[in-house]
Amino acid sequence: MVNLLVLTLKVVLLLAAVWSVYSAELITVEGYEGGKAEIRCPYREQLRSHQKYLCKGDCPVFNKNKVIKTEAGENSTSKGRYSLKDIREESVFIVTITKLMINDSGKYWCGVTNLLADDYTEVNLTVSRDTSVVIIVSGTLVMLLLVLVVSLLIVYRWKFNKETEHVLINVLPSLIMSSCPSPPFPPLQGCHGDGDYEEIKDRPLQSSSGSEITTIYSTANLPTRPLFHLMFP
């Protein structure tokens, strides 16, 4: 007799589970990684005061994986990344999942407790990566790289201009004006110092007509310092 009762109970529970699954409609929800998803679960009006929950996976008759549920008399609750709000006047409860992850994808069930068998609505949640975020991050990195390259070119050009200006103002005039070696090198003949010239001699000449022609002679010292002495005095 006991075995018959147990068998009958198993058959009733099995039929109730099968009836619940086959009577459920499918809800499709999509979301992006890091974002949130809202699952709207409708139910029958006569079940407004019953317990509501969201079950993940196959949701068997026993050992249901209820990620969130309301207690008796509650119309809202929260648990971690999950929150549930029962809008009884509309006969619908909304489950919100925040900070979505890729492994949140899969099958869920909106469940409402009932006397013999719970009412279920099947939910298929798909979580994908937001490619727009990747594009924005990549574009930002490219822009930063371009700014860095342009900044380096500007600094290099400024440094080059400063070095060129230094050569034109300081080094080149020294190369042009210097004519004598610096100590300890001995001075060359006729060299009296930078920028010195030999004495100008005035010697009158006699032309064929008998008039005097004054000719002025000048001896200038050309630069005689070796180039490496000028570069490294």
Residue 8: pLDDT band with limits 50, 70, 90: low
Beta strands 26-32; 119-128: pairing state: parallel
Which amino acid, 129?
R
Percent of the chain with pLDDT over 70: 61
The pLDDT of residue 230 is: 45
- Is this model's pTM higher than 0.85 or not? no
Residues 222 and 179: beta-carbon distance below 8 Å: yes
Interval 15-37: pLDDT, tens:
555 555 444 479 999 999 999 99
pLDDT tens for 171-203 read: 666 666 555 555 555 555 545 554 444 554 555
The amino acid at 169: I
CA distance 169 to 192: 25
∠ Cα 185 191 192 (to 5°): 100
pLDDT digits (tens, 9 = 90+) for 87-107: 999 999 999 999 999 999 999
